[in-house]
Amino acid sequence: MQLRQMGHSGTAVTTLCLGTMTFGAESSEEASFRMMDDYAAAGGNFIDTADVYSAGLSEQIVGRWLKARPTEAAQMVVATKGRFPMGSGPNDLGLSRRHLTRALDDSLRRIGVDHVDLYQVHAWDALTPLEETLRFLDDAIRAGKIGAYGVSNYLGWQITKAVHLAKAHHWAPPVTLQPQYNLLARDIEHEIVPACLDAGIGLLPWSPLGGGWLTGKYRRDQTPTGTTRLGEDPNRGVEAFGPRNAQERTWNIIAALEEIGTTRGVSMAEVALAWLVQKPAVTSVILGARTPEQLAENLKAANLTLASEEMSRLDAASEPIVGDYPYGAKGIAQRHRRIEGGR
């Protein structure tokens, strides 16, 4: 499995990261242990969890595995997150120093370590001054509790503000962003990806297979059934399936994946993951499997490199749908006129 620097930090991580949101909920502890074993055996060295995953149980399962596998644990880069509610009190959530101090200490206790390599704020907090959050994160690095920090689900202006505030105060800057990113969801390319490239921030995409859509499990005009994410929840299935099913773009993407996969003799999931690994700014793609079998299928993507023609085919099929302004044709034309001196 390939290695890349974790953003502008000196830490090297594999291009496929093991996500653990399913641990303790959709995946039993036994299945979770097997997935971590299989991931490590495949050469992976990056595990991502969060305090809210299964109300802390995911972190506990990861911690028990690390304790039981000291050799593998020594090579593993561990990331977790804090921000969302872990209690019913008014200060049991957010990015305040008060909440993050407790959240980080609780995560370290659940994982059974005194330090994590990457601590991520799970989402923007409009109520807490950004300076308070960044100062806490810098202090946590200086205290040896975290190696570096990242942000998740931030917008472009929020990323840029965090970077420049950190520089102005001589605090450590963020090294990673964890966003939703896949062939079906490319809107981060408008401003978020450029902001990350400008700051040397590495992307850790979540939902790389679009909730299963990019594996080929859903068929046109057929409401999902059975053991799929949408099939197991009929109400959610109808609500989530309908709008995406109605877009011709969805089926153009799936057709391109299927054609490339058939030609290469690989699965659609492998092609979708390989496309994402090869996109600008991407450091490591987070795999969120529910079973060892799903993980095994996804790990095959580590051995697939797409040709430029295949990347272009997928880029064209998945071109984001935008309006005229500011990102569409009229917006681009207007910017060109202003650059050339016209109105």
Which residues lie across from 3 on neighbouring strands?
A: 14
Sign (positive/negative) of CA torsion 12, 288, 88, 124?
positive
User: What's the confidence (pLDDT) of residue 226?
Assistant: 57
Rounded to whole angstroms, the Cα distance separating 216 from 138 reads 43
Domain boundaries of the chain, sorted by first residue = 3-213+267-303
15 burial level (CB within 10 Å; 0-12, 13-18, 19+) = buried
User: What's the confidence (pLDDT) of residue 218?
Assistant: 83
Query: Coil, helix or strand for 36?
Result: helix
User: What's the confidence (pLDDT) of residue 219?
Assistant: 78
Query: Coil, helix or strand for 68?
Result: helix
- 136-173 tens-digit pLDDT: 999 999 999 999 999 999 999 999 999 999 999 999 99
Cβ partners under 8 Å of residue 46, min gap 6: 13, 14, 16, 17, 18, 76, 77, 79, 284
Rounded to whole angstroms, the Cα distance separating 47 from 232 reads 27
Rounded to whole angstroms, the Cα distance separating 151 from 163 reads 11
Catalytic residues: 53
Distances (CA, A) of 157 to 8, 181, 335: 19, 18, 20
Phi, psi (deg, nearest 5) at residue 151: -125, 160
Any idea what the Cα angle at residue 55 is, between residues 148 and 294, rounded to 5°? 80
User: What's the confidence (pLDDT) of residue 221?
Assistant: 66
Distances (CA, A) of 315 to 75, 186, 319, 342: 35, 10, 6, 32
Measured from the Cβ of residue 49, the count of other Cβ atoms closer than 10 Å reads: 27
| Residue type at position 270 | E
Q: Which superfamily does CATH assign the domain made up of 3-213+267-303 to?
A: NADP-dependent oxidoreductase domain (3.20.20.100)
pTM: 0.91
User: What's the confidence (pLDDT) of residue 130?
Assistant: 98
Element (H, E) at 203: strand 202-203
DSSP assignment letter at 221: T
Distances (CA, A) of 222 to 233, 242, 284, 298: 15, 10, 33, 25
Q: How far is CA 250 from the centre of its chain?
A: 21
User: What's the confidence (pLDDT) of residue 336?
Assistant: 45
Q: How far is CA 44 from the centre of its chain?
A: 16
- 315-341 tens-digit pLDDT: 999 999 887 788 776 665 554 454 445
Per-residue pLDDT of the chain (343 residues; tens, 9 = 90+): 999 999 999 999 999 999 999 999 999 999 999 999 999 999 999 999 999 999 999 999 999 999 999 999 999 999 999 999 999 999 999 999 999 999 999 999 999 999 999 999 999 999 999 999 999 999 999 999 999 999 999 999 999 999 999 999 999 999 999 999 999 999 999 999 999 999 999 999 999 999 999 999 887 766 666 555 555 555 555 556 666 676 889 999 999 999 999 999 999 999 999 999 999 999 999 999 999 999 999 999 999 999 999 999 999 999 998 877 887 766 655 544 544 454 4
| Residue type at position 183 | L
Rounded to whole angstroms, the Cα distance separating 221 from 169 reads 54
